[in-house]
Amino acid sequence: MNEVRLKSILDNDFYKITMQNAVIKLFPNERVKYEFINRGKHLFPAGFDTELRKCVNAMAELKLTKDEKEFLRITCPYLDLPYLDFLGGYHYDPAEVQIRQTGNDLSVTVEGEWYRTILWEVPLLALISELYYAMHGMERDSDESVIMNTLEKARELNDLGVTFAEFGTRRRHSYKVHDLVMDALTQNKSSKFTGSSNIHFAMKYGVKPIGTHAHEWFMFHGAEYGFKMANALSLEHWVDVYRGDLGVALSDTYTTDVFFQQFDKKFAKLFDGVRHDSGDPIEFAYKTIEHYKTNGINPLFKYIIFSDGLNMEKVAEITHACNGKIGISFGIGTNLTNDVGLKPMNIVMKLIAAKSINGDWIPTVKLSDEHGKYTGDPKMIELAKEFLRIKD
């Protein structure tokens, strides 16, 4: 088994960096907890916890290089210079990560200050995925096959005339496959490939790092300020920090219907578009188009980024439904970085609690547009549904 290790502190999704900058600015004293969720009921081999602990301990050695810092400074002028200095001195603290294994079950939790622990989620998932295949000794498709498969997908997407980005860090097969995919995607200079959510690979291949915020931004606001205020305050705080940059709003933390109730004309004009991450994508597109029209905004001046479990068939279907009605773009993840002849893992890591001023832990919840993707304490989920008048 080849040694599984991260090679760069920027081998992470860009929205973790953008959120960390905002957290340092607005919530420097908040403590949070994250928890690994094994949605696919995968069975982990004996000793997996020991190997994962070695990977996590090795992350303490990662440090932002001068070239990486300069890349962020030039490419992302909306990131505060004091933040870049902070990141230059940041080290992962393995003590923030608890790993336990009971039989074939794996438990991973993270606890600490939000501004520090926010960076763990994506690399932990990427390591768990890569280590899982390595320890099971599963053989993937050849490098040549991965490259040809990726080039074929890029051709199909270009034929559709859609812009697309690579969003596949967290459930990639391995760093090597991710690298092969990025190399293939950047071969055609006239392609509509726009960039990667992974900062390290965006820098390596000279493309744009792509991302704004994740569900945890809205989940934290729900715990801190209450469910009724979560969407509006999340968006307000984002605008306070980025002043019009990074203008794609994630819509489904507390269902899209609830989101649009608070995504009023002000936000609809301020944000460039919205991201779809659960539920029927075409139904979502029509709701979004109608929402813009209701607020007197031409939907063709806005766009939707689709990012939920996309494959080529889904992309084609969405494109045909939306052409000429609203701007569209696609963030394709696992179908690019883990289409290697093996079943991709179904794993996530979620913010599960935030510590209140009086020291109590307040559970967070996510009520996506798919009931099967609801996450959080069951009592709190029911409370959120009651407050937000969400009916199953």
Token digits for 254?
A: 């507390």
In whole angstroms, give the CA distance from residue 254 to residue 381. 10
In whole angstroms, give the CA distance from residue 54 to residue 3. 10
Radius of gyration of the chain (CA): 20
Q: Which residues contact 195 (CB under 8 A, 6 or more apart)?
A: 165, 166, 202, 207, 208, 209, 210
pLDDT score of 347: 97
In whole angstroms, give the CA distance from residue 140 to residue 133. 9
In whole angstroms, give the CA distance from residue 306 to residue 248. 11
E-only strand ranges, 219-326:
248-250, 273-276, 303-306
Token digits for 371?
A: 């009931």
Q: What residues pair up with 195 in beta bridges, in sequence order? A: 165, 208
Mutual orientation of helices 66-75 and 81-89 as an angle, nearest 10°? Answer: 160
E-only strand ranges, 38-154:
97-102, 105-113
In whole angstroms, give the CA distance from residue 158 to residue 285. 21
Q: Which residues contact 196 (CB under 8 A, 6 or more apart)?
A: 165, 166, 167, 182, 202, 205, 207, 208, 209, 210
In whole angstroms, give the CA distance from residue 250 to residue 15. 11
Q: What residues pair up with 354 in beta bridges, in sequence order? A: 32, 362
**What homologous superfamily is domain 14-139+345-388 in, according to CATH?**
nicotinate phosphoribosyltransferase (3.20.140.10)
Token digits for 169?
A: 């860090």
Q: What is the mean pLDDT of each run of 10 residues along the chain (392 residues)?
A: 87 98 97 97 98 98 98 97 98 98 98 98 98 97 98 95 97 98 93 96 98 97 96 98 97 96 97 96 97 98 96 96 97 97 97 91 93 85 92 76
Domain boundaries in the chain? 14-139+345-388, 143-337
Q: What is the CATH number of domain 143-337?
A: 3.20.140.10
Residue reference for tokens 């075409």: 282
pLDDT score of 1: 56
In whole angstroms, give the CA distance from residue 250 to residue 166. 17
pLDDT score of 370: 85
Token digits for 302?
A: 């806005």
Matching CATH topology for 14-139+345-388 and 143-337?
A: yes
Of 118, 101, 68, 92, residue with least CA distance to 5 = 92
In whole angstroms, give the CA distance from residue 359 to residue 139. 48
Do residues 36 and 109 lie in contact, with contact meaning Cβ atoms separated by under 8 Å?
Answer: yes
pLDDT score of 2: 63
Token digits for 335?
A: 């179908």
Q: Mind giving me the DSSP string for 316-337?
A: HHHHHHHTTTSEEEEEE-HHHH
